[in-house]
Amino acid sequence: MNSDQIEGAVKDLSGRVQQAAGALGDDAKTKVQGAAREAAGKVQQTYGDAVDAVREFTERKPFGALALGVGIGVLIGTVLLARRNDD
């Protein structure tokens, strides 16, 4: 687990707790803030999962990762040059 996954899980849990506190106190603002914190935590966890997946892929297949990076670079360069020529 990386730090983004851990921080995301903590935010997710604290958001759920905040929502429950808002429900107990009948405070709509606290419930909405809790839902937002929970959503932010889930997004951060997903980002951490993606970072781990990329790290594992590059460790298992370094040449494939290099080829993918070169391909993305060529694609971005082609798009930028096409836009430049359109101006």
Dihedral angle computed from the Cα positions of residues 32, 35, 41 and 42, in that order, rounded to the nearest 10 degrees:
-140
Parse the chain into domains and list their residue ranges.
3-61
Q: In percent, how much of the chain has pLDDT > 90?
A: 86
- pLDDT for res 42: 96
pTM of structure = 0.70
52-87 pLDDT per residue, tens:
999 999 999 999 999 999 999 999 999 999 888 776
Tell me which residue of 25, 21, 61, 59 sits closest to 37, measured CA to CA.
21
**Are the beta carbons of 21 and 37 closer than 8 angstroms?**
no
